Amino acid sequence: MNREEILAKTYSALKNIFLRYEGKGIISIYLWGSILSEDFNLGKSDIDSIAIVKNNFGSNIGKK
């Protein structure tokens, strides 16, 4: 798998998370780091993301 394929899968996963929790208080999700550049190293790099949520977004929202 190359960087572009990993980026596409990451985008899809983050979009699904956003759409799933948008009505429950998630405001946005940001992706940054080497995944967005040619510096990405398949063997070393991680994928950096963060979600911005409303104050009342529950910390156990994904738990059953």
Instruction: Tell if the pTM clears 0.95, that is, is over it.
Output: no
Please check whether residue 60 lies inside any domain of the structure.
no
Number of domain units in the chain: 1
48-63: b or e for each residue (b if 16 or more CB lie within 10 Å)? eeeeebeeeeeeeeee
Please check whether residue 61 lies inside any domain of the structure.
no
Q: Which band of pLDDT confidence, cut at 50, 70 and 90, is reported for residue 56? A: confident
pLDDT in tens, 20-44: 999 889 999 999 999 999 889 988 9
User: Hey, what are 20's tokens?
Assistant: 């799933």
Regarding predicted confidence, which is higher, 60 or 49? 49
Across the chain, mean pLDDT equals: 89
Structural element, H or E, at residue 10: helix 3-21
User: Hey, what are 9's tokens?
Assistant: 């899968």
Residue 23 belongs to domain spanning: 3-53
